[in-house]
Amino acid sequence: MVNNELEIPMQFDIHIQCADCDGLGTHDHTAHGVNANGPYVDVTEQNCYVCEGQGLVYVGRETYDNLSDLKSDYPESIVQNIETRKWA
Ligand SMILES: [Zn+2]
């Protein structure tokens, strides 16, 4: 049995889900008020200021031998392989 998985160190750009907006990228801003028609509720979506609406926060660039090592360090991460440009 031959193991074809080569373990060549790879560089990844690591992003994790934004904790401030739970990865949504936006916050619902609720305004209550009263006008001529009575009380109203105005819900507007605002971009999260932590992740600037991306839903992800950039952690940095790190080198790993394989993707599973990376995922064990950053279980909730979304990463991009620098060389292949593939997201995982
Ligand atoms: Zn956010």
Ion ligand 1: residues, Cβ under 5 Å:
18, 20-21, 48, 50-51
Model-level pTM? 0.69
- Give me 29's structure tokens: 């801003």
Given a contact cutoff of 8 angstroms between Cβ atoms, the answer to whether 8 and 47 are in contact is no
Q: What is the pLDDT along the chain (88 residues), one digit of tens a residue?
A: 555 666 789 999 999 999 999 999 999 999 999 999 999 999 999 999 999 999 999 999 999 999 999 999 999 899 999 999 999 9
Expressed in angstroms and rounded, the spacing between residue 66 Cα and the centre of ligand 1 is 28
Distance, CA of 12 to CA of 79 (rounded, Å): 6
Expressed in angstroms and rounded, the spacing between residue 5 Cα and the centre of ligand 1 is 36
